[in-house]
Amino acid sequence: MQLQDILYSQGFGTRRVCAGLIQQGLVQVYASVQAPATVCTESNAEFVADGLRFRVQGVDWPYQEKAYLMLNKPLATECSQKPSTYPSIYTLLPSPLRLRPQKGAVQGVQAVGRLDQDTTGLLLLTDDGKFIHRMSSPRHHVPKVYEVTVKHPISDAQVAKLLSGVVLDDDPKPVRAAACEALGEHHLRLTLTEGKYHQVKRMVAAVSNRVEALHRSQIGGLRLPDDLAPGQWCWLSPDDLLRIAA
């Protein structure tokens, strides 16, 4: 695969822009894990894309046929390309991730589901449409774990109701938590396998309490790392992807 096509596939601009970066000596390629990066000025130089590492304008990048990321979503951000009030989460990502070419009008990685502007924590992003569909499908019931701070002290009766099922105003069928435990007087850990609109807030309201803070800590078997600070992102490994489905 030509180097300019590799850069294009990774979101570094049009093929002409990518060729210009290469010809200006702004792209270095790692021939092996141990070898240092060397400048390549031939835009049509051929490389095996899979496993390739390169450096563009001083920043190292691994080739990724499809991008899979996790972001620790901070407070007061919106999961929208066109936010209405707060900054978009996409401004936290480097431009190549936002510009990765895709079929159709959409470019770059997209959030897998959404978190409200006042919800923090684990958010997945990808440019793999099949992955987004699979994760979003209610048939797959991927569990999501939330750390919930509530206004009023939590009672055993409230926990029992969340486990047995509560009725939301738009659905007569009871909605149940897959798991629920009180971690403190005002702290609840809630596991859901559905993704209804404002579901945690509405379920807590249905048991006569109120969500004061909400943080998603886990999706499937994938936990948000303690060392990934709010606003930071990282690549997902193949093992991470397996944990999501675990």
Q: Looking at residue 154, which CATH number applies to its domain?
A: 3.30.70.1560
Same domain, 239 and 131: yes
- How does pLDDT run along the chain (246 residues), one tens digit per residue? 999 999 999 999 999 999 999 999 999 999 888 889 999 999 999 999 999 999 999 999 999 999 999 999 999 999 999 999 999 999 999 999 999 998 776 789 999 999 999 999 999 999 999 999 889 877 778 999 999 999 999 999 999 999 999 999 877 889 999 999 999 999 999 999 988 889 999 999 999 999 999 999 999 999 999 999 999 999 999 999 999 986
The DSSP element (H or E) to which 127 belongs, if any, is none
Same domain, 85 and 134: yes
Report pTM.
0.94
- Number of domains the chain is built from: 3
Same domain? For 208 and 176 the reply is yes
Is 55 found in the same domain as 163?
A: no
| Tokens 């390309």, located at residue | 81
Same domain membership, residue 124 and residue 229: yes
Q: Are strands 53-56 and 37-39 parallel, antiparallel or unpaired?
A: unpaired
**pLDDT for res 184:** 96
233 and 111 belong to one structural domain: yes
**Cα–Cα distance between 112 and 114 in angstroms, integer?**
7
Please give the backbone phi and psi of residue 98, each rounded to the nearest 5 degrees, phi first.
-85, -15
Q: Does residue 14 sit in helix, strand or coil?
A: coil
Same domain for 177 and 214? yes
Report the distance separating Cα 42 and Cα 2, nearest Å: 9
Looking at 12, 37, 62, the residue that finishes a domain is 62
- Please tell me whether residues 210 and 226 are part of one structural domain: no
Q: Which domain holds residue 11?
A: 3-62
Identify whether residues 36 and 21 lie together within a single domain.
yes
| Together in a domain, 209 and 230 | no
DSSP string, 221-243: TEEPPTTS-TT-EEEPPHHHHHH
Q: What is the pLDDT of residue 246?
A: 67
Same domain, 9 and 115: no
Q: Using CB atoms within 10 A of its CB, is residue 214 exposed (0-12), middle (13-18) or buried (19+)? A: buried
Which residues participate in catalysis according to the annotation?
Answer: 116
- Which residue in this structure is represented by tokens 């400048």? 39
> What are the CA-CA distances from residue 144 to residues 32, 141, 204, 239, 240 (Å)?
39, 9, 16, 18, 15
Residues 206 and 227 grouped into a single domain: no
Residue 51, domain CATH: 3.10.290.10
What pLDDT, on a 0 to 100 scale, did the predictor assign at position 244? 93
Q: Measuring CA to CA, which residue among 63, 69, 90 is closest to residue 9?
A: 63
